[in-house]
Amino acid sequence: MSPRERGWVRHVVRPATRVGAVRLVLECAAAGVLVAALVLAATALKGDEYRARVGLLAGPATPEAPQYGEVTALGLPALVELARSPSVLARTGVEAERVTVELVPASGLARLTVRAPSASQAVVEATAVARAVVEADLLAPAAKLRVLDQPDVARVSPDWPLALGLALLAGAVAGVALAVVRHLRRTRVDDAVRVALSASGVRHPVPVLADDAPDLVAKLTALLDAAARPARVVAVDPALTGRAEELATRLPDKAFEPGDGVALVAVAPRAGRHEALAGAVGVLPPGTAVVAVVLA
C-alpha cells in the first residue's frame, strides 16, 4: 500500500474510532442510567416503613424492695425474648420480625421498637407491645417496668439519600463494566483479525469495520477511492456470500479504475478464529490490496 493510501486509511480509521468511542460512551451512559433507574424503582416499590420507639424503665416495686439492682441486672435481658414471645405477640397481633429491643447497659432502660407500614400503626402496636410487656411483670416482686415516654415515630424506609447513592454507584459500576466488556471483546476480535492478516503476509494497517455500522458504506467508499483500483468484495465464509454480494452492489463501480491490481474488502464472521480469512487472503493474486475487513 502506497503512502497516499496509508494516509487515507488513517483518515478513515481515526474518525471511525472517534465515532465508535462516542457510541460506546452513549451506550455505557444508557446502561448506567437504566441500572440506576431500576435501583430507584426497586426502592420505591418497597413502600414506606415507619418505626415507633418507646422506652421502658425498671424501678423498685416498693421503696423497701430488696435486691432491686440485682434482680434488674439479671432479669432485664430476658425482656428481649419476652417482647417477641408468642404470648405477647398473640395479644398485640404483631409479627416477631417487626419487634426489636435494645438494652442500655447499666441503666435499667430498654428501648422497644416496632416497625409498621404507617406511622399510626407503628404507634398503636408499639404502645400495645409495651403495655403487654409491663403487664407480664417480668421483674416481680423486687422490681417493675414502666413506660418511660410516648412513642417516638420516624420514617425509616425508603431512605432516599441512601437509595440515590446506591443508584449512582450501581449505575457507575454498570457503565464501567459494559465499557470493559465491550473493549475486551472488540480488542480480542480485532487482534484475531490482525493476526490472521499478518499470517497471510499483509503488513499494512487494515481497518476492521463492523457490518452494522451506520456509515459502513461511506467508510468503504473512502478507502476504495484512496486505493484507486477496481473493487472486489469477497466472503471468506460461504454463509456470508449473500451479505458480500449485497455490500458489493452498494459500493461504487470501479471496474475501469487505472490502478494495478484489485482493492479487496473481505467479509468475515464476527466470531471464530479467522483461519478462513488468513487462507483467503493468502491465496490472493499479486497486486491485490486488502483495504478493509468487515465483520458480519
Residue 19 predicted with pLDDT over 60: no
Q: Is 116 exposed, middle or buried (0-12, 13-18, 19+ CB in 10 A)?
A: buried
Handedness of CA 20, 25, 31, 34 (dihedral sign): negative
DSSP type of residue 207: -
Least confident of 40-54, 164-178, 193-207, 246-260: 246-260
* Torsion (CA) 233, 236, 240, 246 in degrees, nearest 10: 0
| Sequence-separated (6 or more) residues with CB below 8 Å from residue 259 | 227, 228, 229, 230
| Sequence-separated (6 or more) residues with CB below 8 Å from residue 273 | 192, 196
Q: Is 74 helix (H, G, I), strand (E, B) or coil?
A: helix
- pLDDT for position 209: 84
Residue 151 predicted with pLDDT over 50: yes
pLDDT band at 159 (very low <50, low <70, confident <90, very high): confident
Count: domains in the chain: 2
pLDDT band at 112 (very low <50, low <70, confident <90, very high): very high
Q: How far apart are CA 272 and CA 277, in angstroms?
A: 10
Q: Do residue 33 and residue 53 come from a single domain?
A: no
Residue 2 predicted with pLDDT over 70: no
DSSP type of residue 18: H
Least confident of 118-132, 170-184, 250-264, 278-292: 250-264
β pairing state of 49-60 and 143-147: antiparallel
**Closest C-alpha to 143, from 61, 261, 66:** 61
Q: Do residue 63 and residue 29 come from a single domain?
A: no
Q: Do residue 289 and residue 209 come from a single domain?
A: yes
Q: What is the mean pLDDT of residues 40-65?
A: 83
Q: Do residue 226 and residue 135 come from a single domain?
A: no
pLDDT band at 20 (very low <50, low <70, confident <90, very high): low
The answer to whether position 110 is within a domain reads yes
Return the percentage of the chain with pLDDT > 70, whole number: 85
The answer to whether position 245 is within a domain reads yes
- Residue 103 in grid coordinates: 438494652
The answer to whether residues 50 and 117 touch, using CB atoms and an 8 Å cutoff, is yes
pLDDT band at 258 (very low <50, low <70, confident <90, very high): low
Q: How far apart are CA 201 and CA 285, in angstroms?
A: 12
Last residue of a domain, one of 128, 157, 186: 157
Q: How far apart are CA 55 and CA 132, in angstroms?
A: 14
DSSP type of residue 229: S
The answer to whether position 44 is within a domain reads no
Q: Do residue 145 and residue 190 come from a single domain?
A: no
Q: Do residue 122 and residue 184 come from a single domain?
A: no
What residues make up the domain containing 191? 3-37+167-295
What's 84's domain CATH number? 3.30.70.1130
Q: Do residue 275 and residue 176 come from a single domain?
A: yes
Q: What interhelical angle do 241-250 and 216-227 show, nearest 10?
A: 70
Question: Please, what is the average pLDDT of the chain?
Answer: 80
pLDDT band at 1 (very low <50, low <70, confident <90, very high): very low
**Closest C-alpha to 89, from 145, 136, 154:** 136
Rg (CA), the chain: 38
**Residue pLDDT, tens place only, 188-234:** 666 677 777 777 777 778 888 888 777 888 888 888 887 777 888 88
**Residue pLDDT, tens place only, 56-89:** 988 887 777 667 677 778 888 888 898 999 989 8
Least confident of 52-56, 147-151, 275-279: 275-279
Q: Do residue 63 and residue 171 come from a single domain?
A: no
